[in-house]
Amino acid sequence: MILLTLRDLVFRRTRFIVVSLLGAVVFALLFVMTGLVEQFNLEPVDSVDAIGVEAWVLPESAKGPFTSAPTMPTSTVDAVDAAQASPVVTSRSSLVEEPGTRGEEVIVIGHVIDGLGSPDVSDGRAAAAPGELTADESMGLELGQVVTLGDESFTVVGFTKDTTLLAGIPLVFMPVEEAQQIVFRTTDVISAVLVDGDVGELPPGFKLMTSEEVADDVLEPLEGAIASVDLVRVLLWIVAAIIIGAVVYLSALERQRDFAVLKAIGASDRSLLASLAIQAVLVALVAVGVAAVIQLFLAPAFPLRVRVPARAFWQLPLLAVVMSLIAGAVGMRKVMRADPSQAFAGAA
């Protein structure tokens, strides 16, 4: 039966190539959508990890350090009973590369030089003096480049990797005093306290959020976007199922006489069904294989980082095989219904 299946694929190759390419485009979009969802989910974890602390002390009324605008006196740092505690400033701001041009939205992290919150750099070094900053490499800045944040000028001295939040807003690290000036115009106010090690009882009116809780909190505003992408993924699966189901159905329809002849000469329903099922699976697998290549070219065109997880490269083909068998079921019913007496029917 495998001979029959392969020969039929070759015989109707134009159709199968067109359908495989169509399916490949759909599967490539599925890869990209999967990569986007993966990016949404991992982005806060990576960024909060880059800040590198165990927990954050925040005012009880604050939702989170990145989803609200918490403030507290700088002196709160001294009131926190922890093995290590450092002030931090978190705020949305605008970074201007060239004077007179439109700024790019960034999240400013003001940290103690070489203290808690100082990020690991992928290139250059961490900001270590006033007027220096470290930026996420996705911004495309260059080492030594001078940029403006608020009214202050900064020199880019290093880059961090995978430090974006809220669907691609890059983090910019700088000394905490500079951040206080830009955000609060005073060094008396900070956003939160970063803590590591054992933490004792907090002063009244404050709460502790672990880094995991902070990451979960940052993900919340994106839940609608993630749900939308998931819905698009479901729709793409339906489109892929329709494409593969349609080609299998057409094939079954056109081959009904062949199936009748084969049944008449003793072929079992099972072997004929297997022939059609193999076709559906082959189309799905070829489409997924081509899609895995297409997504390499498609992903860079997206404004957000597309992080296709390794598991997608076996899950997607597996799901595609299952889907193709379900989608092909309508065509396979045609095989079951093929009446062997049709083999005796008149001219084909």
State in Å, rounded, how far the first CA of the chain is from the last one: 22
The residue within the footprint of another protein, chosen from 4, 85, 157, 218 (CB under 8 A), is 4
Longest dimension (CA), the chain: 96
| Closest approach of another protein to the CB of residue 339, in Å | 8
b/e 160-193 (16+ beta carbons within 10 angstroms → b): bebbbbbbbbbbbbbbbbbbbbbbbeeeebbbbb
Coil/strand/helix, residue 8: helix
Complex with another protein: residue 3 or 310, whichever CB lies closer: 3
* Cβ 281 to another protein shortest distance, Å: 18
Q: Rounded to whole angstroms, how far apart are CA atoms 340 and 348? A: 15
Looking at the Cβ atoms of 229 and 264, the one nearer to another protein is: 264
- b/e per residue, 32-49, with b = 16+ CB within 10 A? bbbbbbbbbebbbbbbbb
Using the minimum distance from each CB to another protein, give the nearer residue, 7 or 207: 7
| CB proximity list for 89: less than 8 A, separation 6 or greater | 108, 109, 110, 176, 179, 180, 183, 184, 190, 191
Residue 14 binds to another protein (criterion: CB under 8 A) = no
Provide the β-strand partners of residue 207: 58
Closest approach of another protein to the CB of residue 277, in Å: 17
Q: Which of residues 198-237 bind another protein (CB under 8 A)?
A: none
CA separation for the pair 36, 134 (Å, rounded): 25
Taking the least distance from each CB to another protein, the nearer of 12 and 233 is 12
- Least Å distance, CB 266 to another protein, is 3
Q: Select 264 or 319, whichever has its Cβ closest to another protein.
A: 264
* Minimum distance of another protein from residue 268's CB (angstroms): 7
CB nearer to another protein: pick between 318 and 345: 345
CB of 12 to another protein, least distance (A): 7
Near another protein by CB under 8 A: residue from 7, 63, 185, 333? 7
Closer residue to another protein in complex, CB, 91/251: 251
Residues 321-340 vs another protein: string with x where CB under 8 A? -------------------x
Minimum CB separation from another protein for residue 8, in Å?
A: 4
Nearer to another protein, 5 or 68 (CB): 5
CB of 311 to another protein, least distance (A): 37
Question: In this complex, which beta carbon is closest to another protein, that of residue 56 or of residue 259?
Answer: 259
Q: By CB under 8 A, what part of segment 105-134 binds another protein?
A: none
- State yes or no: residue 137 binds another protein (CB under 8 A): no
Minimum CB–partner distance for residue 314 and another protein (Å): 32
8 part of the interface to another protein, by CB under 8 A: yes
For residue 28 the two structure tokens come to 């490539």
Q: Which long-range contacts (CB under 8 A, 24 or more apart) does 339-343 make?
A: 339/260, 339/263, 340/260, 340/261, 340/263, 340/264, 341/260, 341/264, 342/256, 342/257, 342/260, 343/257, 343/260, 343/261, 343/263, 343/264
What is the Cα Rg of the chain in Å? Answer: 29
Give, as ranges, the residues between 233 and 292 that touch another protein (CB under 8 A): 257-258, 261-262, 264-268, 271
SS3 content of the chain, % helix, strand, coil (to 5): 50, 20, 25
Token pair 């807003």: residue: 169
Are 35 and 148 spatial neighbours (Cβ–Cβ below 8 Å)?
Answer: no
* Residues of this chain that bind another protein (CB under 8 A): 3-4, 7-8, 10-12, 257-258, 261-262, 264-268, 271, 340-341, 343-348
